[in-house]
Structure 1
Amino acid sequence: MATGGHGEGAVGDGAGERGRGERGRSEGGHLRNFQAALRESPPLWWSLLYFFCLLCGYYVLRPVRDAMGASGDIATVFPQASIDWAAAHGFALKDFTLQVLFTGTFLTMVLLQPVYGALVSRFPRRVFLPAVYLVFIACLLGFYWAFDHDVPGRGAVFFIWVAVFNLFAVAVFWSFMADVFDNDHAKRLYGYIGAGGTIGALVGPLLTTSLVGTIGVANLLLVSAGFLAVCLLCILQLRKWAIRREQLSGGVDGESAMGGSIVAGLRLVWQRPLLRALAITVFFGVGVGTLLYNEQAAIVKAFYPDARAATRYYSIIDGAVNTVTILVQLLLTRFLLRRYGVGPTLLIPAFAILGGYAMLALSPVPLLVAMVQVATRAGEFSLAKPGRETIYTRVDRESRYKAKAVIDTVVYRGGDLTFVWLHKALSAFGSRLVFVAGMAVALGLTFGAWKVIRAQRTLPDESSPSA
């Protein structure tokens, strides 16, 4: 990759003197900036393809997962033995579907965290990165068999697995990006990389919507496995740039095993103010999304009892989210990160969510729930997530892989678990109380974002010669 100074010149020359001011912010100016970034940065091509395939593969699966969580056919979701056990103890398992699924997801994350810690501690990057994706592909082949044979109770295992897959695969992706790109390049390129992922997230639901009626749910899992296989190719191609950046910056060699404790990530999050602040932000950020998700699931269960109709509905919501996301990523994210740093990218979504919950508390109508859901998720994907990820380019490698994995998996799903049960308690008193509580959660998110902004100012502003 070209040097940071050359990169600035390339972008400036592409825009031209007349591109300054309003014209520099026009659609043509954004296109020229993107073209210049592609010329400057060969690894950007592979990173775009990597994130595109990763999110496309995930978003092929997400509507299937969401339809399982909202399914009225409880025998599809849970094994008959667990349904009978619940009935024998005086309650219907179908009344606690999401609560049980989110609890299972959190417990699975806790159990897998030491396994992941051991993997990254004892094996070099060239081993553990491909291994993660090979395991996911093998699991998809197993689920293909389960769906193709209508195995009872497959829904719960699949729901939990997709949640685990999403968090671990995306967490590993951004950790690897922090190996490939330095902070200066991250500010200029992460918006574009995020947009590549968003295009994949747009294509995924479209594939699901168009194919589910023709090939069925089971074959969609094979489509997703194909996209993950391309991710493996991208990892192999990007490895040389990660090595180059580490050599030029004098960093620790990522091709050697990291070493250290398998639970070091938990210790780092507890000890370091920046990592604690990031954990707080993620925890409350999950909270606002979980409360909305559960309200939406109640609507789907009432109005879309058929699995294919529910899958199609969720794919439409995902499409709306990703359309807004890519527009913001291409037109705003890069500008905010380069001009103002991470502050606006963290605070704008937090204030938007707070305003959305305030409106829902006044008028909790289904259409407004969907609109705030779109705004909440789009703000996270287009602004807050790229903002947080640039910070990890400036921390040590153990924080980048181990602590980040704890925040993105255990803390994330801990938030899911906390707020899914909170929603169950509050929903008995009506939607309005849920959204009033959501305003308090949004305030917690805003507080965490402010703490992150303050803490990250103490980090070195790395600008290595090349990525």
Structure 2
Amino acid sequence: MFSSLGVRNYRLWAGGQVVSLVGTWMQRIAQDWLVLHLSGNSGVAIGIVMALQFGPTAVLSMPAGALADRFDKRKLLMLTQIGMAACALILGVTDTLGVATLGQVYALSLALGCISAVDAPIRQSFTVEMVGPEHLPNAVALNSMTFNTARIIGPAIAGVLITAIGTGPVFLVNTATFVAVLTGLLMMRTGELHRSERARGRSSVVEGLRYIRARPHLVALFTTVFFVSTFGLNFPLSLALLTKNTFAGSAGGYGLLSTVLAVGTLAGATMAARRKRPARVRQLMIAAIAFGVLEVVAGLMPTFALVAVVLIPVGAAQLTFSTAAMNIVQLSVDSSMRGRVMGVYMLAFLGGTPLGSPLLGWLAQVTDPRAPLVVGGAISAVSAVAAAAVFGAAAQRRVRATDDAVTTPDATAEVGVTR
């Protein structure tokens, strides 16, 4: 189940990530709560922060993927970690001193978004360099387990700390956690990394787009990821508004819902780590449909406790979907193109947030705080059904083409030679 942990470099990375990601989730909860405080409980304000934090992905993820294919990923990651730590430090100091404003939060969210947009494709494509293709599916699943373990611990700690001492110190704690991942990167044995051939030339981004366009399964997969991520994965927005405006809850309640969701995603990650066979498209689509339906159900639950209960299977379905998508993409592309492909993947995964978050925040404000969950889940399910139909039609065309080739004498001869 934990075969990738047998690789020393990956152990260092995973250990540093557990600590750093706990701090990251603490900051996310604290930032959402600070924005609600500074904006007078505005859903639009949270949507704007999410748009600023994830918007740079639309511009920077593909160039960042090209960087990942051309330069040393380990050194690039060290630079991005330092940049994110600096953003957390500035926010922590201004908030602790009581001089933080909504405009400052917006500016720091944009800066963090730019750094994160560069970090994401480099981080994702670095996994295979640490463990090699053999352990990649297990490492992707363990990355998800690490992420969601932190997602359980971080919000719980943040809820307690915010209630006790405020949001400012939470940002400062997050700053300190970056030391762990930087230490892990510094201690790696570079000679044991499975480095891929580095790309050259200014047209590398264009080459990446051409590579994807020539593979219809990647186009359909990225389209599904875009719709599910843009409208379905809106939990920082939807759970904060639901807790504050529907159930009149506190930061502790918001942290609890985030933790319960993470319990579900951790369960999904554990199942993915146990799975020995690579993920398939069918599994991806079933998970996406299940996620959308369950999210709608969560949004319709009448009590806080029932919402928390339904969020567990929601989290499991979400993680199954995202892990399957990541495995399919990473294992179906050439190593020399992996950074650029992951740049486009991260664009599909996060690039729609500037569109979805403000829209869903506005919808919640003019209708009901439950709307982001209900509408987002419905769009996710419908998009997955449509993508499944496209994949099914493509499979039928391949079968018919094979049958036609077999029944054609010349084609039959050609197939025989190919075999």
Letter in 2 for 1:341: A
Query: Structure 1 residues 378, 328: CA separation in 2 closer, same or farther (over 3 Å shift)?
Result: closer
Contact 1:364 1:432 (8 Å CA) reproduced: no
Query: Structure 1 residues 260, 120: CA separation in 2 closer, same or farther (over 3 Å shift)?
Result: farther
Q: Does 1:220 align with 2:170?
A: yes
Report what 1:276 is aligned to: 219
RMSD, aligned α-carbons? 3.8
Report what 2:197 is aligned to: 252
Query: Structure 1 residues 353, 117: CA separation in 2 closer, same or farther (over 3 Å shift)?
Result: closer
Report what 2:261 is aligned to: 321
Letter in 1 for 2:100: V
Q: Does 1:41 align with 2:7?
A: yes
Contact 2:148 2:266 (8 Å CA) reproduced: yes
Letter in 2 for 1:41: V
Residue 62 of structure 1 and its aligned partner are, at CA, apart by 1.3
- What is the percent sequence identity of the aligned residues? 20
Q: Does 1:298 align with 2:241?
A: yes
Equivalent runs, 1:13-412 vs 2, <5 Å? 33-34=1-2, 38=5, 40-69=6-35, 71-74=36-39, 94=42, 96-105=44-53, 107-113=55-61, 116=64, 119-120=67-68, 123-149=71-97, 150-153=99-102, 154-160=104-110, 168-238=118-188, 240=190, 243=193, 245-246=194-195, 251-252=196-197, 259-261=201-203, 263-264=205-206, 265=208, 268-270=211-213, 272-290=215-233, 294-302=237-245, 310-330=250-270, 332-336=271-275, 338-339=276-277, 341-343=279-281, 345-357=283-295, 359=297, 363=300, 365=302, 367=304, 368-381=306-319, 383-391=320-328, 392-397=330-335, 399-408=337-346, 410-412=347-349
Contact 2:231 2:376 (8 Å CA) reproduced: no
Query: Structure 1 residues 142, 131: CA separation in 2 closer, same or farther (over 3 Å shift)?
Result: same
For 1:314 and 1:277, the matched residues in 2 are separated by 34
Q: Deviations over 1:259-278 (max 9, x none)?
A: 54474455555554343233
**Unaligned runs of at least 5 residues, structure 2:** 399-419
Query: Structure 1 residues 433, 294: CA separation in 2 closer, same or farther (over 3 Å shift)?
Result: closer
Q: Deviations over 1:148-175 (max 9, x none)?
A: 2322223333445555566654543221
Residue 177 of structure 1 and its aligned partner are, at CA, apart by 0.3
Contact 1:180 1:238 (8 Å CA) reproduced: no
For 2:186 and 2:388, the matched residues in 1 are separated by 35
Query: Structure 1 residues 157, 140: CA separation in 2 closer, same or farther (over 3 Å shift)?
Result: same
Contact 2:156 2:255 (8 Å CA) reproduced: yes
Q: Deviations over 1:357-396 (max 9, x none)?
A: 55468x4535455544443344323x22332333314423
Residue 141 of structure 1 and its aligned partner are, at CA, apart by 2.0
The TM-score, its normalising length taken from structure 1, stands at 0.69
For 2:124 and 2:170, the matched residues in 1 are separated by 26
Query: Structure 1 residues 295, 197: CA separation in 2 closer, same or farther (over 3 Å shift)?
Result: closer
Letter in 1 for 2:289: F
Report what 1:423 is aligned to: 360
Partner SS for 1:341:
coil
Letter in 2 for 1:325: T
Contact 1:105 1:164 (8 Å CA) reproduced: yes
**Unaligned runs of at least 5 residues, structure 1:** 1-32, 78-93, 459-467
For 2:391 and 2:170, the matched residues in 1 are separated by 39
For 1:436 and 1:302, the matched residues in 2 are separated by 18
Letter in 2 for 1:187: P
Query: Structure 1 residues 219, 259: CA separation in 2 closer, same or farther (over 3 Å shift)?
Result: farther
Contact 2:261 2:312 (8 Å CA) reproduced: yes
Contact 1:195 1:326 (8 Å CA) reproduced: yes
Letter in 2 for 1:240: T
Letter in 2 for 1:296: L
Letter in 1 for 2:334: D
